[in-house]
Amino acid sequence: MVAGAEAYGTHKNAALAVKGERIAWIGFADEGAREGAALGIPVHDARGLWLTPGLIDCHTHLVYGGHRVEEFEKRLCGASYEDIARAGGGIQSTVQSTREATHQDLRVSAAIRAQRLMSEGVTTIEVKSGYGLELAAERRLLEVARDLGAELPVSIRKTFLGLHALPREFTADRQGFVNQVCGPWLESLVAENLVDAVDAFCENIAFTVTETEQLLRAAKQLGLPAHVHVGQLTDMGGAELAAKWGALSADHLEFVSVAGARALAAAGTVAVLLPTAYFTLQQTTPPPVALLREAGVTLAVATDSNPGTSPCTSLLLALSMACTLFGLTPEEALSGATRNAARALGASQDIGTLEVGKRADFALWRIERPAELCYGLGANPCAGVVYGGKIRAA
Ligand code: NIG
Ligand code: FE
């Protein structure tokens, strides 16, 4: 046993055999040769490197046009995220640059961001739309997300974030916009096989509980799972709502009540913590991790990669900040980007742990103990990745 490994239930000298895209056997290297011969398949010996499941970034907004550097500068001079949003900047400015971007711009910039995540052992990325906010523009974002998964050796989960912000053309007709998103837009995108899940930004600068509930109801009727952005800036009862509708995840949660935390636990809704967004917005109230733990809520960690609140393409940095800013243990942080991130995507049967029958997505690390994955700032100890049983350039 390697120092620091006990808590992880891990062991040294692991070996793993792959058949097709799946794990066929996992055990000690010294048994590997015998088992491999018996199964008639090759065995990969980790040769003293650490082996983890491929990392999962279960919350990103990876596809968008432009950037928000000016907004960053304004915030450094004292403007708040809410002030900027209310003045028509924020998400609205990315909607404008995304609508203006060519398909090629969107593809290339998203691929660069995806490759940065992949270089750190990420094998699955959830990608949200939400910067189009008109049907054709939302479709384009979801198509780019789908194509990323076809062009790069990474699994993509596509989320329709229809209720992200109210687009300018609907300023005078909020309900009309919500009706479009929850009705014809959702139905068309689902019919085109572009939607794995839905999402909404339930917040005082975005959508109310009632509006969010309309989307959750529509999704349920179509048999689609849901994620919800809740409690990023205020507690509007979004956690309770996510739990009521059996959402896969409730994301952010800086502001959540005791009742909200208990509801999430009872519903099995995963709390996705986004420490790089908290850091970027220089927030001062972290999610009540002790409360969430005590209530028995499953915790995941993701980058929230987006141009406004989290211009971040490092999941390892998010894990580090989950420890230093939110007080997670390195073990909790790491399971938040593997086992629990898989739960947040409703994909536990397929990914997130190294078990026979699951996808052979795993990362090899040049580290001495697992907490090192949360320790380095800007370090990348990834020494190799196997994706669907095939060696991938990290
Ligand atoms: O998760 N909160 C809503 N959505 C993103 C931010 C989007 C933006 O500011 O462009 C988030 O933080
Ligand atoms: Fe987000």
pLDDT tens readout for residues 39-98: 888 787 888 889 999 999 999 999 999 999 999 999 999 999 999 999 989 999 999 999
CB of 130 shorter than 6 A to ligand 1: no
Confidence of residue 5 (pLDDT cuts 50, 70, 90): low
Under a CB-based contact definition with an 8 Å cutoff, are residues 239 and 249 in contact? no
Sole residue written with tokens 């011969």 = 37
Residue 15: predicted pLDDT:
87
What number is the average pLDDT over the span 291-301?
A: 98
What number is the average pLDDT over the span 88-116?
A: 97
CB of 75 shorter than 6 A to ligand 1: no
Would you tell me which CATH number, out of the four given (3.40.50.10070, 2.70.150.10, 2.30.40.10, 3.10.450.50), belongs to the domain 7-52+362-392? 2.30.40.10
Residue 236: predicted pLDDT:
98
What number is the average pLDDT over the span 194-201?
A: 98
Q: Which residues hold their Cβ within 5 A of ligand 2, which is an ion?
A: 304
**Alpha-carbon distance 153 to 89, whole Å?**
35
Residue 300: predicted pLDDT:
98
pLDDT tens readout for residues 308-345: 999 999 999 999 999 999 999 999 999 999 999 999 99
Contacts of 160 (CB under 8 A, 6+ apart): 128, 129, 138, 142, 185, 186, 189, 194, 195, 197, 198, 199
pLDDT tens readout for residues 248-267: 999 999 999 999 999 999 99
Residue 2: predicted pLDDT:
47
pLDDT tens readout for residues 365-378: 999 999 999 999 99
Concatenating the DSSP letter of every residue in 193-238 gives T--SEEEEEESTTSB-HHHHHHHHHHHHHTT--BEEEESSSS--SH
Would you tell me which CATH number, out of the four given (3.30.450.20, 3.90.1200.10, 3.20.20.140, 3.30.565.10), belongs to the domain 55-344? 3.20.20.140
**Other beta carbons less than 10 A from residue 330's beta carbon:** 21
Ligand 1, atom 12, residue with closest C-alpha: 309
Smallest CA-to-CA distance from 341 within 261, 249, 268 is with 249
Question: Of 157 and 394, which is predicted with more confidence?
Answer: 157
pLDDT at residue 118 greater than cutoff 90? yes
Residue span(s) of the chain under CATH 3.20.20.140 come to 55-344
Residue 40: predicted pLDDT:
84
Residue span(s) of the chain under CATH 2.30.40.10 come to 7-52+362-392
Residue 27: predicted pLDDT:
87
CA distances from 309 to 10, 15, 47, 249, 252 (A): 35, 40, 40, 19, 12
Q: What is the DSSP letter of 7?
A: G
For ligand 1, what atom is nearest to the CA of residue 131?
10
CA distances from 65 to 102, 108, 131, 259, 276 (A): 9, 10, 9, 39, 20
**Alpha-carbon distance 232 to 261, whole Å?**
14
pLDDT at residue 99 greater than cutoff 90? yes
**Alpha-carbon distance 351 to 362, whole Å?**
10
Residue 347: predicted pLDDT:
98
What number is the average pLDDT over the span 181-189?
A: 98
CB of 93 shorter than 6 A to ligand 1: no
CB of 306 shorter than 6 A to ligand 1: yes
CB of 94 shorter than 6 A to ligand 1: yes
Three-state secondary structure call for residue 134: coil
**Ligand at shortest distance from the CA of 254:** 1
What spacing in Å lies between the alpha carbon of 232 and ligand 1's midpoint?
A: 9
Residue 165: predicted pLDDT:
97
For ligand 1, what atom is nearest to the CA of residue 64?
10
What spacing in Å lies between the alpha carbon of 33 and ligand 2's midpoint?
A: 45
Helix H or strand E encompassing 28: strand 22-28
pLDDT tens readout for residues 205-251: 999 999 999 999 999 999 999 999 999 999 999 999 999 999 999 99
Residue 126 β-bridge partners: 157
Packing angle of the helix pair 91-100, 135-151 (nearest 10 deg): 70
SS3 content of the chain, % helix, strand, coil (to 5): 40, 20, 40
pLDDT tens readout for residues 133-172: 999 999 999 999 999 999 999 999 999 999 999 999 999 9
What spacing in Å lies between the alpha carbon of 152 and ligand 1's midpoint?
A: 25
pLDDT at residue 37 greater than cutoff 90? no
Under a CB-based contact definition with an 8 Å cutoff, are residues 208 and 200 in contact? no
Residue 159 β-bridge partners: 128, 197
CB of 314 shorter than 6 A to ligand 1: no
pLDDT at residue 1 greater than cutoff 50? no
